[in-house]
């Protein structure tokens, strides 16, 4: 166990550097300094973060350009007509209709619910409850049925990789320059690992995960095991597991 912790700590230190940003979708919110711009661009980027990473970055860049490179201003001030006039966006199964709804829902969140941080911080020690609450509020305005698939439902045992990644970006702050740490009401200790095919496969090879499906039960299992190595900041090991899977084909 000690040897595994030392190995994971070594890989965490190897990959948690500003150079990581250059090849990762997190570079998109790093373009912004205003808190709301960071939050909105981060959520939209995380939402399309599946598939080829270069394609994710290219399409996330396309989104922020559609929002005139001022995500918060566009979200709160664009008229329905302006939103409906957006066109020609698609990332795999996420298309322009989904993006248009996301903008309208974010407008509702910032004008009626005091913003993303306020929603996610309502249950600061209970991330599953937080994710369920966020999803309920996100879809409290009329929405296209197709769009519901793009916000994970942990109540149905979804791994919620993209939402957990978004939370990790917003909450973790270790002065390494990668994550933002701009949300203060949620502690890193309560976060859950953004589990995907890469972190799942590496986790199984390292005996951190026995469950075969990448679902919420698997997320809970691997995060519980990572807390044994660092109870204060367990998801820092996402750098190690992801780096081993993506860069080292471990």
Tens-digit pLDDT profile for residues 7-65: 999 999 999 999 999 999 999 999 999 999 999 999 999 999 988 899 999 999 999 99
Q: How do residues 61-106 score in pLDDT, each as one tens digit? A: 999 999 999 999 999 999 999 999 998 888 988 999 999 999 999 9
Report the pLDDT value the prediction gives residue 119, as an integer from 0 to 100: 98
Q: How do residues 126-149 score in pLDDT, each as one tens digit? A: 999 999 999 999 999 999 999 999
Q: Where do the structural domains in the chain lie, given as residue ranges?
A: 2-246
Q: Provide, rounded to the nearest whole percent, the portion of the chain with pLDDT above 70.
A: 100
Report the pLDDT value the prediction gives residue 90, as an integer from 0 to 100: 85
Q: What is the DSSP string of 85-140?
A: H----EETTEEHHHHHHHHHHHHHHHHHSS-HHHHHTSSTT-HHHHHHHHHHHHTS
Report the pLDDT value the prediction gives residue 137, as an integer from 0 to 100: 98
Question: pLDDT-based confidence at 164, cuts 50/70/90?
Answer: very high
Report the pLDDT value the prediction gives residue 87, as an integer from 0 to 100: 85
Report the pLDDT value the prediction gives residue 81, as an integer from 0 to 100: 92
- Whole-angstrom distance, CA of residue 30 vs CA of residue 15: 17
Task: Look up the pTM and report it.
Answer: 0.96
């Amino acid at each position: 166990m000690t040897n595994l912790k030392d190995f994971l700590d070594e890989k965490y230190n190897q990959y948690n550097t500003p150079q990581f940003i250059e090849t990762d979708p997190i570079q998109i919110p790093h373009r912004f300094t205003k808190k709301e711009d960071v939050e909105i661009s981060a959520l939209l980027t995380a939402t399309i973060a599946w598939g080829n990473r270069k394609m994710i970055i290219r399409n996330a860049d396309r989104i922020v350009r559609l929002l005139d490179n001022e995500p918060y201003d566009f979200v709160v001030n664009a008229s329905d007509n302006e939103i409906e006039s957006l066109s020609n966006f698609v990332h795999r199964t996420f298309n322009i209709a989904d993006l248009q709804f996301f903008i309208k829902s974010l407008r509702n969140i910032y004008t009626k619910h005091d913003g993303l941080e306020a929603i996610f911080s309502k249950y600061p020690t209970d991330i599953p409850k937080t994710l369920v609450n966020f999803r309920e509020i996100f879809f409290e305005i009329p929405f296209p049925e197709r769009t519901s698939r793009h916000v994970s439902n942990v109540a149905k045992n979804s791994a919620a990789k993209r939402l957990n990644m978004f939370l990790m970006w917003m909450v973790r702050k270790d002065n390494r320059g990668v994550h933002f740490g701009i949300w203060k009401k949620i502690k890193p200790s309560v976060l859950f690992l953004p589990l995907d095919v890469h972190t799942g496969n590496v986790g199984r090879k390292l005996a951190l995960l026995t469950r075969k499906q990448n679902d919420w039960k698997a997320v809970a299992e691997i995060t519980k095991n990572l807390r044994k190595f660092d109870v204060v900041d367990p998801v820092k090991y996402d750098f190690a597991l992801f780096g081993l899977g993506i860069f080292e084909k471990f």
